[in-house]
Amino acid sequence: MNKIWLVIQREYLSRVKKKSFLLATLLTPLIFPAIMGIFIWIAVNEKENQSLRIIEVVDENNLFFMESSDQYAFSFSDRSVEEAKELVQIGDRYGFLLIPKIDLEDPQGITYYGEENPNMNLISYLESSLRKKIEDQRLYDSGIDPQILSEIRTSVDVTAITLDEEGGERVSDATVNYAIGFLAGILIYMFIFIYGNQIMQGVIEEKSSRIVEILVSSLKPFQLMMGKIVGIAGVGLTQLLIWIVLIGTLTTVVTGFLGMQMPQQQAMEMAQADMGEAVPNGELGEILAVIQGIDFVTLVGAFVFYFLGGYLLYGALFAGIGSAVDAPSDAQQFMLPVTIPLIVAYMGLFVFVLQDPNSTTSFWLSIVPLTSPIAMMGRISYGVPFWELFLSMGLLILGFLATTWLAGKIYRIGILMHGTKPSYKTLWKWIKTSN
């Protein structure tokens, strides 16, 4: 036990003391808010400095009226098409919208001319304005009073309340839950890959530099392997802790500096926008209510558990692979069975878990140990029955014990083998060998 502790210390200190660790740990949280800050700053600046874009509208029906927005103003005229086109060409107008005589039941031939490619926003804005106008006109034509029409329009916002087993209620919000699942899942995925690789590199270093022969004459291979895995886990946790503290401090500073509301929320919205989801229009207060509704003890507890559990499960496999090969380039052939479940979990997170956390596929992804660390984190903020959580955690512990046992068997033989490129068959032989 004492010797494992020595190995843990060495693995931990030799990494934490490195300049590259310090650099990566300090720069990463600086870079993210910096990029975020720059984006926000540019966006704000752009909005402020942008000159109004004027769009010429030639409506041969004399029917349409387009409401101007912050960015676009519409000028109505009965200029000819040629004249309007010329206005665009000489730069007097940003664009030109031609609405020829149309049949309201089948509007055809509405065309936009512009010097530059119009962006999606503009086109959809034009389309929705025109559609609304045509719909209104048709409703009016069929005899409905516009007064009544505008009274009928209602704005709806559904508040979701999650009931727990004791009958308590909490405000939940799919968007916030999505963001939490998304961030936690990605963080675990990245952590497993980055630190799993560090384990593998470390094992290969000891093997190829032949230090291992000296080490195993002083302690058991299994102690050496576990010491390395645990030591590197410590490095990861340290990094995570520093990040949380740094990001917390920095976002507060950045928020204060820009005088804007919670960049975290912006970040979530950005993430959402990336995923093709609608940007939430929730107010700060609402979001805060939702965040307060989250069971942070369970969330943080589960995160730390799956963070470590997933890492240990895969870390052992990475150690096993490292022990079997002589150089990192030889490791490729064995990486596939480790990479595939990770990628399945990662894809599953987006395709199934975050879309429908309670579907059968999501359930199984969050139960099977190879995918559960990532998938369960996608589900947890939506609320998961305790038996499912315990089953998943229990299986993860078993899974971790199994991969460690398997890796240990490969490791104790692999680290002493040089000059042979093992196949899966040889690995299987090593696993079966008793001593």
Which residues are at the interface with other proteins (CB under 8 A)? 3, 6, 10, 14, 18, 205, 209-211, 213-219, 416, 418, 429, 435
Residues 377 and 381: their CA atoms lie apart, in Å, by: 7
Residues 230 and 8: their CA atoms lie apart, in Å, by: 6
Output the smallest distance, CB 238 to other proteins, in A: 19
Classify strands 95-99 and 111-114 as parallel, antiparallel or unpaired: antiparallel
Residues 218 and 83: their CA atoms lie apart, in Å, by: 90
- 81-86 long-range contacts, Cβ below 8 Å, gap at least 24? 84/56, 84/58, 84/113, 85/113
Nearer to other proteins, 99 or 324 (CB): 324
Output the smallest distance, CB 3 to other proteins, in A: 6
Q: Under a CB-based contact definition with an 8 Å cutoff, are residues 374 and 310 in contact?
A: yes
Nearer to other proteins, 10 or 138 (CB): 10
Q: Under a CB-based contact definition with an 8 Å cutoff, are residues 381 and 180 in contact?
A: yes
Neighbours of 274 (CB within 10 A): 9
Nearer to other proteins, 10 or 47 (CB): 10
Nearer to other proteins, 62 or 217 (CB): 217
Nearer to other proteins, 18 or 47 (CB): 18
Nearer to other proteins, 126 or 413 (CB): 413
Neighbours of 163 (CB within 10 A): 10
Residues 280 and 303: their CA atoms lie apart, in Å, by: 25
Q: Under a CB-based contact definition with an 8 Å cutoff, are residues 203 and 228 in contact?
A: yes
Output the smallest distance, CB 314 to other proteins, in A: 25
Output the smallest distance, CB 193 to other proteins, in A: 23
Across the chain, which distance is largest between two alpha carbons, in Å?
95
Output the smallest distance, CB 299 to other proteins, in A: 38
Output the smallest distance, CB 381 to other proteins, in A: 41
CA 50 to chain centre: 31
Neighbours of 247 (CB within 10 A): 17
Output the smallest distance, CB 18 to other proteins, in A: 8
Nearer to other proteins, 150 or 434 (CB): 434
Q: Under a CB-based contact definition with an 8 Å cutoff, are residues 15 and 198 in contact?
A: yes
Output the smallest distance, CB 186 to other proteins, in A: 31
Q: Under a CB-based contact definition with an 8 Å cutoff, are residues 408 and 221 in contact?
A: yes
Nearer to other proteins, 133 or 220 (CB): 220
Structure tokens at 163: 């009931």
